[in-house]
Amino acid sequence: MRTNRKRFLAVIILTAFILINLFSASINVEAIISASHQELLMMAELRKLDVQDKSDDEIKQLLLNYEGLELKEEEKQEEKANEYNMEILSANSMSILSNNNILLEGDVKVSFSFSEQDSPKILSANKMIVDPNVKSVTAYSNVKFEDKDSKSGLSEITADVVTYSYSAGDLIVTGGSTESERKNNEDEKIVFSTSADILNYRNKDSGLFFTDGSITTNKEKSLSTISAKEIAILDGGDMFLSNAYLKIGRVPILYLPFFFYPGSRLALNPAFGFNSARGLFASATIELFGTYPSFTEDSEESSFASLLKSEDSKNLVSNGLYYDKSDKEESSFDKWVKKNGNYFTLLFDAYEKFGLHLGYDLLIKSDKFKILSKSGLAYSNPNNNIYNKELRYYSNSEISLNFTDLKLNAKIPFYSDPEVNKKYSSRLTSFSIDSFLGAAQKFPEESSTITSYEMVLNSSLSLPRKLKPSFIDSATISKLELKGKYNYSISEQKYLIEDIYLPNITANISGTIFSFSESVKENKEEKDKEIAFSDYFILSDPLLSNMYESKSSSKTNSKQSSLSLKYSINEELNNSFDRDEKQKKLINEILKNNISGKITLQGNIKNTFSFTQIITPEYIHTFDEVKKETKDNLTFRSDTTLSLPFIGITYNLNSYLYKQEAIKLDEKYSEKQTYWAFDKDNIKAHSISFSKSYDLSIGQINPSLKYTLKPLTQAITAGLSYKLYDFTLSFSWYFKQQDEIIKSDDIKLSIGYLSKYFTYSLSLTYKSSIYDKADFFKPLSFNSSISLRTEDKKYSLTEYIKYVYENNGIYNSIDELTTTLVSPYLTLSYSGSYIDKKYSHTSFDLSSKIKTNTMYSWHNRILTQFAVDSKFHYAFENHYATNLSLTFSLNFKIQEFLAINLSVKTTNNSFYKYYDDKDNLNSSLIWQDLKNSFDFLSNGRYNTGFTMDSLSIELVHYMTDWNLYCKYSASIVSSQAGYEWIPTVSIFLKWKTIPDLKIDENYKQSSLGEWEATSTVYGKK
């Protein structure tokens, strides 16, 4: 019995010893981690450890090693998170109290910094008490706490008493106010000022908790506030209110016993409210993966949620019920979705008038394919839609493949009725707080009514390179199209197929049967030259344009021999069907099949002789079921070109070898065959030509001669061109056959000079076929231009003359004489003519764009800019064609206060009224009309030739709490009754504290003089 007692006592003592050691170990670990510098030195001295010149972390590690202790992983993380540095920046006096607390007095300023934060926190006050045991500081009198970290939930606090736990970063404020700065989506700074009897700030949750608090954007003048018994603002923008009032000045306009504002976005993305066309509605939009583009569009507009969010809470992901920050590493699927902008979203809507709607919006794409689809199914009361349909549906889908050898695109829409897509695809995807106030919610602009649509499948296919034999260079089906067109039938209340194309095909195969070549080609590319107004006349001359090419050209020099035989086969098939309303079915409207080929034999012998022989067979089959007609055409065509490059001679013969045409109409059949013959019906081109350039010691010369041979109408064109630097001279003489005799016709001479500062052109045409011995110059026509300009071509003076030998039966007259002055701001042009020995003024044109530089005044806070755009056309002989257009614009802005934009456009097409019976201009009538146009007090503006085409006045008033936008615009609109002046008034007022609360109205005056509300102009939903 005694032995058992001894054993039991030994077990108890051993257990107690183990527990004491374990408990003491944990105490020692905690004591070492939380010990101050002095405590660490005392512990090391008791254990006779050498800690000279060692940091606190190194001393802690020595003590842990001495005691045989180790930190657990969570203790390491906690230790790292609790690392801080406290520094006393200033204080008039410091003393240690009996409880080892530290008392600081007189202009006290202390900073706290944590290892993971960029900027320190500053606490200043008249008096502070530091309690190192609980790691807190209590500040009294004129307390100010500053946190400049952009990720912080607040930036500044002023209060009577502040207790700051610097180890946790928490604050308790009594009788204080805070300031936090945010930026809206218009990049404007918004400062939130808050005040409360008691305020708690929890650093871990980045949350602000108020008791008897208020929020405003103007600390000095609280024009608008949110007051509540309790307010909680969490990181991400979530806000909780209890017993809250929304006040304008001191007047409460809304009371909420409890309110939760989902600033961090609910996963359902709810939207609800009232719309005049849809009635009461509620919507939900759920992202299954990816980011829905409509949310991105909504985020471009400022909202209360966007202002509540801190900088590090913008990129959120769906986490169950809310969107929240995620520390998880993105999966390969998430990276693929983000990289390609893919998304899959479910759409739910309930409308009082439109019923229920369930749909989805999907985009899946990569480099090689894309699937885009938006579809919906709706259940509605048949009495609420003109189509009497209970179940309605729509779908817009597109599938694309984009591979190297295969490309495909399919568009597959279908609808239950013409308005289903218009009604249900236009949705709200964002919550707006003004829906609580009963404000009508404005939906995005609806699509148009769809009375017809097309289903289309387009594809192209190429033979892969690996499968191509040596005799095939390319094999492609460049177009394979299937298309059906559907029209809505009101009588049958459904879409009926109207046209169908089965199929449309374009295919090609080409290759080389053999090719023997050792050619070495040298290509020289010339860049495009800029074409200015002063270049126009010289470059429009066909004899000179080749010398001053505006397009890049390629010159090839082949010095070796080559021989090749190539082929190509082309297929075009078009087969369409049309709906016959009488037979209620599709009939074959027309079938057309075109098969053509080309065989090309080409050779070159060391640049001394070259030839090209092309044989082109072509078969065209056409069938028209409506006409009961079938046509078959078969042709063989030959194109032969022989050339002696070394002397510049080329021979060309293009002719039909064989033609067959067969027509079957009903039961009648006819056939016509034509074999090759040397006549005009079969020979399409037959000529021999000479053209070669020669480089001289000074310049370059290019003689040319072309002779059109029998059986065609014979003609000869002789030409000679010479170029020396910027100077060009070209001459051509054309002869043509008349009554079996070749006679002289047009003789042309062109001279051109084109340089940086000067251009000149002269083009003469002498029509020798109407040569008259009595009047040698009668057949002469010419046009000439001369220009002086700056190197950048912005300033130029051009003189142009056009002389014609005949104009409406009148010979030898100057048809046009124009002087044009061009500058960046002003263009002047005068035109006249000399016809039948009488000089006449034709027209005068003036256009200007004058825009003043921005003028600054009053410390550069006032900006003013004025612009005038004018166009005046004066017709000397036809006063009805004279017109004037003036556009005035003024931009005035006072920074951060007011902006005014004014634009007025007036036109005058009534200059004919200012002339008397003797065709004399009465300028006083012009000034009287101009004066009447500004008479807005009486009816003077209705009796003037100056009509106001458009007017736009926009005023923006930037206030501390609000931004006010007012716009009046009006223009002349054509209608059945004639031209009408239609004004529009827009008012947009937005509260910066809660941007969702806004007045956004747009009114348009009808032809009856009534003002009607229309769609929004400034706001966007």
The pLDDT tens digits for 841-896 are 999 999 998 888 888 988 888 999 999 999 999 998 888 899 999 899 999 999 88
Amino acid identity for residue 278 in this structure? R
Name the percent of the chain lying above pLDDT 70: 75
Round to whole Å and give the CA distance between 892 and 866.
9
Q: Is pLDDT larger for residue 294 or for residue 583?
A: 294
Q: Does position 523 have pLDDT exceeding 50, yes or no?
A: no
DSSP state of 197: E
> CA angle at residue 724 from 720 to 726, to 5 degrees?
110
What is the torsion angle, in degrees rounded to the nearest 10, for the CA atoms of residue 829, residue 835, residue 841 and residue 845? -30
Average pLDDT over residues 426-438: 64
Mean of the per-residue pLDDT values of the chain: 79
pLDDT, position 18: 38
550 falls in which pLDDT band (50, 70, 90)?
very low
Q: What are phi and psi of 834, to 5 degrees?
A: -130, 100
Return the number of other C-beta atoms located less than 10 Å from residue 178's C-beta. Answer: 25
Round to whole Å and give the CA distance between 996 and 303.
5
Q: Does position 512 have pLDDT exceeding 50, yes or no?
A: yes
968 falls in which pLDDT band (50, 70, 90)?
confident
Round to whole Å and give the CA distance between 293 and 651.
64
pLDDT, position 296: 61
pLDDT, position 510: 93
pLDDT, position 576: 85
Round to whole Å and give the CA distance between 275 and 428.
11
553 falls in which pLDDT band (50, 70, 90)?
very low
Q: Which two tokens stand for residue 595?
A: 């098969």
pLDDT, position 135: 78
Q: Is pLDDT larger for residue 839 or for residue 626?
A: 839
Round to whole Å and give the CA distance between 330 and 51.
46
Radius of gyration of the chain measured on its C-alpha atoms: 44
306 falls in which pLDDT band (50, 70, 90)?
low
Q: Does position 555 have pLDDT exceeding 50, yes or no?
A: no
- pLDDT tens digits along 96-114: 887 778 888 999 998 877 6
Round to whole Å and give the CA distance between 213 and 921.
76
Instruction: Please report, for residues 290, 484, 490, 591, 662, the alpha-carbon distance to residue 582 in angstroms, rounded to integers and kept in the order given.
Output: 51, 20, 16, 22, 32
730 class by beta-carbon count within 10 Å (0-12 exposed, 13-18 middle, 19+ buried): buried
- pLDDT tens digits along 766-812: 988 888 787 888 888 999 999 999 988 889 999 999 998 776 667 77
170-179, 260-269, 476-485, 766-775 — most confident range:
476-485
253, containing H or E segment: strand 251-261
pLDDT, position 1: 45
6-10, 208-212, 618-622, 678-682 — most confident range:
618-622
> CA angle at residue 428 from 335 to 449, to 5 degrees?
105
- pLDDT tens digits along 251-267: 777 777 876 665 556 67
Round to whole Å and give the CA distance between 271 and 265.
11
Q: Does position 525 have pLDDT exceeding 50, yes or no?
A: no
- Classified as helix, coil or strand, 391 is strand
145-159, 257-271, 481-495, 966-980 — most confident range:
481-495
Do 442 and 1000 meet the contact criterion of CB atoms below 8 Å apart? yes
Do 247 and 227 meet the contact criterion of CB atoms below 8 Å apart? yes
**Is beta strand 189-202 parallel, antiparallel or unpaired with respect to 355-365?**
unpaired
Q: Is pLDDT larger for residue 810 or for residue 534?
A: 810
Name the percent of the chain lying above pLDDT 90: 27
Q: Does position 545 have pLDDT exceeding 70, yes or no?
A: no
Round to whole Å and give the CA distance between 471 and 512.
5
**Confidence (pTM):** 0.58
Contacts of 538 (CB under 8 A, 6+ apart): 544, 548, 752, 754, 759, 760, 761, 785
Average pLDDT over residues 278-291: 85
Least confident of 50-54, 684-688, 767-771: 50-54
Instruction: Please report, for residues 134, 263, 431, the alpha-carbon distance to residue 325 in angstroms, rounded to integers and kept in the order given.
Output: 31, 13, 21
Measured in whole angstroms, how far is the alpha carbon of residue 360 from the centre of its chain? 25
pLDDT, position 153: 53
Round to whole Å and give the CA distance between 513 and 809.
61
Within 13 Å and on the Cβ side, how many CA atoms surround 300?
7
pLDDT, position 155: 67
Least confident of 220-234, 345-359, 619-633, 847-861: 220-234
Instruction: Please report, for residues 136, 880, 946, the alpha-carbon distance to residue 933 in angstroms, rounded to integers and kept in the order given.
Output: 76, 20, 6
Q: Which two tokens stand for residue 798?
A: 């051009």
Round to whole Å and give the CA distance between 245 and 224.
11
pLDDT, position 113: 75
pLDDT, position 34: 61
pLDDT, position 570: 95
Q: What are phi and psi of 535, to 5 degrees?
A: -95, -15
In order, the DSSP letters of 529-542 are PP--GGGHHHHT-H
- pLDDT tens digits along 726-764: 899 999 999 998 888 888 999 999 999 988 899 999 999
pLDDT, position 522: 43
11 falls in which pLDDT band (50, 70, 90)?
very low
pLDDT, position 38: 66
